[in-house]
């Protein structure tokens, strides 16, 4: 314990709540919270006193018959998160979360990112079916304008390096889904996402539009993340100091769309709540508590890759870093003044409360939740190719390994033929949310048993508990090049828990 603390540079942290040298660990029916929590050093607001917000929507600069053109600038900014304090963030357009892109299936988006931050960045559209050159491979750096930048990376000659600004092209040949974009720079993703580089990217389509689901003011994207604050209001981050084998950074403040434990004023109507866990390492188990009458269930309508075949009721659900759970909450039977609270059953103390909804008005609600949502193809696995990926820690090498090796951009860990169905066996001896780029997968089994309810639909991130295993079926399509499979605990990712997947025809 003391050895660990002296090895670690404690960067202004008054205290790190680290239990028993191995970091904080607690277990609750399978799910497990791991990581090191930094304690905030200032007075925190009372939960459910600050008004809830929805991220701004980014309008295209121009449009033509096939394409929407957007511009984003990555900037430092100072924003008020804790009342009475300013926090320096790194944000897309200086916002945290970044503005929401609303895209349409089949229409291309060209997003021009300009980097005005002090360091290079990489943009990844998480869940996007994206050509490799725009996918945000961790060495495809965008250097800030004016800073010295190499034209070539000697450690990875294939890296596509640019300076100033760069176009990311997203063809959006994929169903309606809740995606998100975030930084993905090799070795730095934990720190840069913690500073604020994350936002929603929603894809809509005709199928979704025809269903009559709650929309517009009744469609709320909710980005969950945890942060801790120094006495001056700054974000505390100590995840990646040299020699410190991080299990993942945890904060003691739960933010929803950048607001601590917000209170949303809502109508007595159906709401679509699109949950995204953009935390570095925190897993949430979300549960509803009614303060005036019995709480309704969450009705899950979608997961990472889009709508489910049919809605399903969930009393509670787990959501790990990178995952999205798309739900509808039916508040139509509620009266003005009623309240509902969402809590995190995997949290302790200040990380239990999440948000509160207060019914402040009645409306005529014409939305509905049809019994059938989308057609989700069952992947035919009869002629599948088999592979396995084992996620394991190597303390001696200060790395988290996949199939025994740390990330190396010069190595190809899986060479995959487009169109070929693959069955992948994922194993682990620790808690890892496993994420695959380019295409979503179907979960075939968990621990040799049927998938869990929240494994249904198309997933791109699957939370594996310690000593769990899962089988997934996946078929990559359309685009050749370098992609990733990695752990979405961002500190594990930064400590090399990534592997390169190359697709070919
Ligand atoms: Cu959300 Cu490879 O990442
Ligand atoms: Cu991990």
What was the pLDDT predicted at 371?
A: 97
Does residue 182 have its Cβ closer than 6 Å to ligand 1?
Answer: yes
Question: By alpha-carbon position, which residue is closest to atom 1 of ligand 1?
Answer: 126
Q: Which ligand is nearest to the CA of 434?
A: 2
For residues 16 and 36, give the distance between their C-alpha atoms in angstroms, rounded to a whole number.
7
Does residue 435 have its Cβ closer than 6 Å to ligand 1?
Answer: yes
What was the pLDDT predicted at 243?
A: 61
Which pLDDT tens digit goes with each residue over 179-191?
Answer: 999 999 999 999 9
What was the pLDDT predicted at 18?
A: 30
- Provide the CA 166 distance to its chain's centre, in angstroms: 23
Please state, in angstroms and as integers, the Cα–Cα distance from residue 363 to each residue in 1, 221, 309, 353, following that order. Answer: 57, 21, 29, 28
Question: By alpha-carbon position, which residue is closest to atom 3 of ligand 1?
Answer: 126
Q: Which ligand is nearest to the CA of 123?
A: 1
The CB-side HSE value for 332 (13 A sphere, CA atoms) comes to: 13
Over its length of 505 residues, how does the chain's per-residue pLDDT go in tens digits?
233 322 222 222 222 233 222 333 333 335 567 788 889 999 999 999 999 999 999 999 999 999 999 999 999 999 999 999 999 999 999 999 999 999 999 999 999 999 999 999 999 999 999 999 999 999 999 999 988 888 889 899 999 999 999 999 999 999 999 999 999 999 999 999 999 999 999 999 999 999 999 999 999 999 999 999 999 999 999 876 666 668 899 999 999 999 999 999 999 999 999 999 999 999 999 999 987 777 788 999 999 999 999 999 999 999 999 999 999 999 998 999 999 999 999 999 999 999 999 999 999 999 999 999 999 999 999 999 999 999 998 877 778 999 999 999 999 999 999 999 999 999 998 999 999 999 999 999 999 999 999 999 999 999 999 889 999 999 999 999 999 999 999 999 999 999 999 999 9
Atom in ligand 1 nearest the alpha carbon of residue 322: 1
**Is 82 within 8 Å of 233 (Cβ atoms)?**
yes
What was the pLDDT predicted at 218?
A: 98
DSSP 455: G
Does residue 322 have its Cβ closer than 6 Å to ligand 1?
Answer: yes
For residues 499 and 486, give the distance between their C-alpha atoms in angstroms, rounded to a whole number.
6
What was the pLDDT predicted at 6?
A: 27
What was the pLDDT predicted at 156?
A: 94
What was the pLDDT predicted at 23?
A: 35
Number of Cβ within 10 Å of residue 13's Cβ equals 17
Ligand 1 centre to CA of 34 (Å) is: 19
Q: 387: which strand partners? A: 424
């Amino acid at each position: 314990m003391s050895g660990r603390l002296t090895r670690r540079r404690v960067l202004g942290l008054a205290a790190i709540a680290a239990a028993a040298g191995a970091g904080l660990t607690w277990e609750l029916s399978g799910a497990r919270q791991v990581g090191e929590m930094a304690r905030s050093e200032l007075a925190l607001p009372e939960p459910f006193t600050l008004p809830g917000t929805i991220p701004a929507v980014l309008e295209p600069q121009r449009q033509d018959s096939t394409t929407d053109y957007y511009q984003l600038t990555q900037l430092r900014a100072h924003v008020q998160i804790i009342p009475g304090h300013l926090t320096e963030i790194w944000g897309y357009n200086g916002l945290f979360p970044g503005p929401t892109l609303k895209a349409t299936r089949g229409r291309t988006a060209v997003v021009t990112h300009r980097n005005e931050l002090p360091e290079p960045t990489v943009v990844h559209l998480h869940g996007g079916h994206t050509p490799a050159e725009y996918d945000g491979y961790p060495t495809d750096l965008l250097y800030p304008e004016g800073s010295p930048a190499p034209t070539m990376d000697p450690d990875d000659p294939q890296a596509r390096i640019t300076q100033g600004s760069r176009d990311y092209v997203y063809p959006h040949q994929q169903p309606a889904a809740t995606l998100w974009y975030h930084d993905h720079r090799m070795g730095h993703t934990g720190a840069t996402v913690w500073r604020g580089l994350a936002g929603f990217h929603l894809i809509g389509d005709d199928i979704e539009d025809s269903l009559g689901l709650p929309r517009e003011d009744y469609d709320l994207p909710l980005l969950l993340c945890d942060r801790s604050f120094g006495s001056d209001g700054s974000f505390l981050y100590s995840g990646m100091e040299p020699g410190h084998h991080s299990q993942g950074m945890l904060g003691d403040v739960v933010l929803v769309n950048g607001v601590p434990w917000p209170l949303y004023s809502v109508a007595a109507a159906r709401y679509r709540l699109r949950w995204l866990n953009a935390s570095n390492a925190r897993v949430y188990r979300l549960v509803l508590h009614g303060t005036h009458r019995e709480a309704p269930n969450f009705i899950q309508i979608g997961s990472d890759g889009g709508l489910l075949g049919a809605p399903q009721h969930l009393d509670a659900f787990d959501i790990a870093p990178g995952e999205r759970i798309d739900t509808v909450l039916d508040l139509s039977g509620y009266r003005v003044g009623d309240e509902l609270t969402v809590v995190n059953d995997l949290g302790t103390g200040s990380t239990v409360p999440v948000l509160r909804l207060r019914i402040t008005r009645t409306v005529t609600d014409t939305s509905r939740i049809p019994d059938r949502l989308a057609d989700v193809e069952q992947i035919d696995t009869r002629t599948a190719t088999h592979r396995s990926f084992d996620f394991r820690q190597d303390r001696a090498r200060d790395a988290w390994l996949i199939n025994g090796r740390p990330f190396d951009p010069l190595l190809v860990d899986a060479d995959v033929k487009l169109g070929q169905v693959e069955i992948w066996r994922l194993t682990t001896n620790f808690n890892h949310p496993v994420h695959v780029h380019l295409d979503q997968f179907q979960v075939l089994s968990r621990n040799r048993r049927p998938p869990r309810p929240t494994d249904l639909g198309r997933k791109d991130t699957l939370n594996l508990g310690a000593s769990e295993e899962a089988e997934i079926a996946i078929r990559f399509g359309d685009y050749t090049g370098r992609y990733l499979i990695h752990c979405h605990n961002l500190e594990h990712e930064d400590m090399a828990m990534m592997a390169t997947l190359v697709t070919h025809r």
